[in-house]
Amino acid sequence: MRLEQAIRTVNDRGEKAFIPYVMGGDGGIDRLPDILSFLERSGATAIEVGVPFSDPVADGPVIQEAGLRALAHEVSLHDVLEAIRIARQETTVPIVVMTYLNPIFRFGIDAFLATCREVGVDGLIIPDLPLEQSAQFFAKHDKQDIALVQLVSLTSPIERIQKIANQSEGFLYAVTVNGTTGGQTTFGESLEAHLARVAELSPVPVLAGFGISTPAHVKQLGASVAGVIVGSKIVELLQQEDTSAIEQLIAARLPDLHV
């Protein structure tokens, strides 16, 4: 799949993958194509685009507030997909849509998947779709080459991590905190060993996400896996229009050069 290949390509160059998250429609849906173009130019391996939803169970305060701002602009799943269609005139990196089940049901599963393929979506993250239901959810629908990314938590036993990893597509999303998204000051002492173990078990690349908010975090946690996902900090910096800080975060994926 294109998403997995993009990650492996940057890893083969000695770099780590970096996937920034943005909330579709934060500040108005018309901004999204320009934001995606900027993130690609800044070195993003792929981009995760969130869909505003009224009950985002995986999202912390920063992303929840971004979603409320987007909802105030009456941004829908349809609007986000149409903005991705426009963005595809310039943006070529893989795009992963993060949404919940209700918007998909309301859109219609077949219509949603067909539109995703049509506008150039490469992957899906659906936090409230358990592994056991994911195959059933898509059983009668044509998902084709759209990757369904699975998540593993810190509390998942080894047997379940292996099961989830074997069914994840594109990459495996390793959650780094017990809780919702949002910047962390420090991480648990055993986290890096946990990530390395998950990476050993997974046939697809493993990316760490939740709580990563500094270049030091990117390097620290990226060392154990194929790359990182940064959400809340990117959303915060976009709202502040601090493009320089975003570029510094993404640049942290690169190996240190010692002369």
Q: Which residues pair with 117 in a beta bridge?
A: none
The CA distance from 200 to 170, in Å, is 16
122 is catalytic: no
Element (H, E) at 8: helix 2-12
Contact 22, 50 (CB under 8 A): yes
CA Rg value for the chain: 17
59 is catalytic: yes
Name the phi and psi angles at 105, rounded to 5: -60, -45
Candidates 4, 26, 40, 48; catalytic one: 48
User: What is the 8-class DSSP label of residue 43?
Assistant: T
Half-sphere exposure of 89 (CA within 13 A, CB side): 8
User: What is the 8-class DSSP label of residue 181?
Assistant: S
159 token code pair: 């047997």
Strands (E), the chain: 17-23, 47-50, 95-98, 123-125, 147-152, 172-175, 206-209, 227-230
Candidates 4, 26, 40, 59; catalytic one: 59
The residues that are catalytic are: 48, 59
